[in-house]
Amino acid sequence: MEPILNSVSPTLYHSFAKTDAAPVELTSARPVEMVKGAAPDADREFDALLANRFERACYVFVVAYAGFLIRDLFFIERAGIVFQRIVIGAGIGLQIALTLMVRYGLTASRGRRQIAQYATILIAWAVLGSTQYDFLRNQLRSPELSDVHWTGSLQIVLANTSFFPWFALIAGYPVLVPMSWRRAVAFAVGTSLVPVVVTVLVMFTTTGLTIERTPFMFLQFAIWALIGTFIAGYGAAQSGALRKEAFEARRFGQYILRKHLGTGGMGEVYLAEHRLLKRPSVIKLIRPDRSADPKLILRFEREVKILATLTHWNTVDVYDYGYTPDGTFYYVMEYLPGMNLDELVKRHGPVAPSRVVFLMSQICRGLREAHSVGMIHRDIKPSNIMATTRGGLQDVAKLLDFGLVLGPDEAGDSAKLTREGAIIGTPHYMSPEQARGDTVDARSDVYALGVTMHFMLTGKPLFDAKSLMEILAAHMMTEPTPLREIDRQLPADLEEIILKCLRKDPASRYSDIRELEIALQSCAAVCDWNHDIAADWWKLHAVLRPVATSGLCEI
């Protein structure tokens, strides 16, 4: 079975709205100075890269040796290459054994991996050396090669043919397996000496190859060795410099970017890790091509400051924010392994009513804190709600993306439907008053929660039209289809709650989020789902598994 979380697609933990909320009178913060601390853990990252690349190199060697053996067995009819075939066959067996050891973690430590690397190089020397040895011996058996024909040109041709596989190894191995330029040069020099030793060995074991017949061969060996050594050393140095630059580019204060999670209309989201605490986090930042827009900076600052004032368990936590030296604005929030509700429905179908009650009750509690200080979310939707694990509990609901929140002093000015011709919010989940561009209050979020619950129970949007304006018009004028007409198995009490949330007139809905929470808690299905049942569900569907070696969860 694949690692469990590999089955979960990289989910953008909160959507980037395509437009800006109304500008708030905030003074742009001065760049936050980078926190000083321990040096970045570049060695650990290099070890991980080296292990991955060495495993790939092992596969390349196995395939290459198999190609040599197939060539010798089926396309070359010479008895003189028996020794070569034996060595190549043995090399394939040994390399496969090494590859399996690397694949299954038997060379995980640095010392064992170095031994495996040295063994791989020795196998390559043996295979290429046997190929060169048999090639030169067979050339000497040719009756046409008399003393008259041993010209400098012939020696150069033999040297080029003999040295080409060695040149490929010298220049290619440091590309497959990253190393320092010093190590690359040492490897190149050592490998360049092997064909010289093989040629001398042929001279002592075979008549016909003498020192008089080889001066141009050794000269050609030296030329190719110098070229290969330069390529190996220079390539390793450049690769190391690029790795260092890439590592530095991924540094955000005390955080190191580990994996790109998604791209939105305004920025990027990355999985990150704190350099000292090794705590997984998510970093949200403005894309470089958008960073010159002051309104985006204001929105990001506004969102992080709003989130920083909220402390409820069911609201995403913000750890830090600031600017990189090049002016890129970012903020850091908690990493939430799991799935958002949109992905949950699309992967596993409609959600059980008891689970809907369980998750939405938690979101009501998180919203209660925001509403109590006059904040209206305005962008509640399934993709902005995570079902995650926290404190050893499964199905902890987390509310995300407060970029469109209205503060207590902004309702009259900022609730306009459009700003510079763009819609603020998500049309499929907008309340009628938000769609009209009227002033909104907490009851607008109640409506969005009703639409979200409808989607969770049916797996379909409340109103699904082809055009944006048709969707907005449906929210304003079309009555929703009763849930039990879609699925007669759905409980009547939950249907009644959702239909009340979806009333066009805000005065006819629940007056506040607390009233909705009380109604949900009165449902007959309220006791049919809890954290223990959720843990069984997650285990059954094999979604979450922390990666203990890195402290991260694979996505």
How far is CA 298 from each of CA 286, 293, 370, 374, 403, rounded to the nearest angstrom? 11, 9, 20, 20, 10
Q: How far apart are CA 257 and CA 260, in angstroms?
A: 8
Which one is predicted more confidently, 257 or 14?
A: 257
Q: Indicate the pLDDT class of residue 250, thresholds 50, 70 and 90.
A: low
For the chain, give every residue range classified as CATH 1.10.510.10. 338-553
Which one is predicted more confidently, 362 or 46?
A: 362
Which residues face 553 on adjacent strands? Answer: 546
pLDDT at 408: 52
Does residue 554 carry a pLDDT above 50? no
Q: How far apart are CA 95 and CA 414, in angstroms?
A: 67
How much is the average pLDDT of 112-121?
89
At 553, is the secondary structure helix, strand, or coil?
A: strand
552-553 vs 385-390, strand pairing mode: unpaired
Task: Classify 511 in phi/psi space as left (phi over 0), alpha (psi -120 to 50) or beta.
Answer: alpha
The CB density around residue 411, as the number of other CB atoms within 10 Å, is: 14
The CB density around residue 475, as the number of other CB atoms within 10 Å, is: 25
Which position has the token pair 């629940």? 510
Which one is predicted more confidently, 4 or 115?
A: 115
At 320, is the secondary structure helix, strand, or coil?
A: strand
pLDDT at 404: 57
Q: How far apart are CA 176 and CA 522, in angstroms?
A: 63
- Mean of the per-residue pLDDT values of the chain: 79
pLDDT at 45: 60
Minimum mean pLDDT range among 26-30, 179-183, 265-269, 271-275 = 26-30
Asked if residues 311 and 369 have their Cβ atoms less than 8 Å apart, the reply is yes
pLDDT at 239: 80
Which one is predicted more confidently, 417 or 521?
A: 521
Q: Minimal CA–CA distance to 130: which of 176, 93, 165, 97?
A: 165
pLDDT tens for each residue of 291-321: 666 776 777 777 777 778 888 999 988 888 7
- Could you tell me the pTM of the whole model? 0.56
What percent of the chain lies above the pLDDT cut of 90?
35
Q: How far apart are CA 43 and CA 258, in angstroms?
A: 14
Q: Minimal CA–CA distance to 321: which of 303, 347, 337?
A: 303
For 160-176, b where at least 16 C-beta lie within 10 A, e where not — what string?
Answer: eebbebbbebbbbbbee
Which one is predicted more confidently, 13 or 177?
A: 177
Task: Write down how long the chain is.
Answer: 555
Q: Minimal CA–CA distance to 176: which of 302, 285, 49?
A: 49
Minimum mean pLDDT range among 86-100, 292-306, 450-464, 517-531 = 292-306
pLDDT at 388: 93
255-263 vs 267-274, strand pairing mode: antiparallel
280-286 vs 318-323, strand pairing mode: unpaired
At 507, is the secondary structure helix, strand, or coil?
A: helix
Which residues face 262 on adjacent strands? Answer: 269
How much is the average pLDDT of 94-103?
89
Q: Give the angle 494-500-506 at the CA atoms, nearest 5°.
A: 150
pLDDT at 33: 37
Q: Give the angle 493-495-500 at the CA atoms, nearest 5°.
A: 100
pLDDT at 325: 66
> Which parts of 372-443 are beta strand (E)?
385-390, 393-399, 418-419, 422-423
pLDDT at 3: 35
Q: Indicate the pLDDT class of residue 359, thresholds 50, 70 and 90.
A: very high
pLDDT tens for each residue of 466-516: 788 999 999 999 999 888 888 888 999 999 999 999 999 999 999 999 999
Which one is predicted more confidently, 265 or 83?
A: 83
pLDDT tens for each residue of 33-43: 333 333 445 55
Q: Indicate the pLDDT class of residue 287, thresholds 50, 70 and 90.
A: low
pLDDT tens for each residue of 124-167: 999 999 889 888 888 777 666 655 567 788 888 888 998 999 99
The HSE-up count of residue 432 (CA atoms within 13 Å, CB side) is 17
Minimum mean pLDDT range among 46-60, 104-118, 248-262 = 248-262
Minimum mean pLDDT range among 51-55, 298-302, 397-401, 519-523 = 298-302
Q: How far apart are CA 382 and CA 456, in angstroms?
A: 8
**Domain 338-553 part of CATH 3.40.50.740:** no
What one-character DSSP code corresponds to residue 273?
Answer: E
Alpha-helical regions (H) of 75-109: 82-103
**Of all helices (H) and strands (E), which one includes residue 49?**
helix 42-74
Q: Indicate the pLDDT class of residue 437, thresholds 50, 70 and 90.
A: confident
**CATH topology (fold) of 4-34+253-334:** Phosphorylase Kinase; domain 1 (3.30.200)
Q: How far apart are CA 551 and CA 276, in angstroms?
A: 12
Asked if residues 13 and 386 have their Cβ atoms less than 8 Å apart, the reply is yes
Helices vs strands, H then E, count in the chain: 17, 13
Asked if residues 276 and 266 have their Cβ atoms less than 8 Å apart, the reply is no
Contact partners, residue 486, CB within 8 Å, separation at least 6: 458, 460
Q: How far apart are CA 324 and CA 318, in angstroms?
A: 17
pLDDT at 406: 55
For the chain, give every residue range classified as CATH 3.30.200.20. 4-34+253-334
Which range in 255-259, 288-292, 534-538 is most confidently predicted, on average pLDDT? 534-538
| 359 token code pair | 């998750």
pLDDT at 30: 36
pLDDT tens for each residue of 191-227: 999 999 999 998 888 877 888 888 888 999 999 999 9
Q: How far from chain centre, in Å, is Cα 203?
A: 55
**CA gyration radius, the chain:** 33
pLDDT at 546: 37
Does residue 21 carry a pLDDT above 80? no
Q: Indicate the pLDDT class of residue 188, thresholds 50, 70 and 90.
A: very high
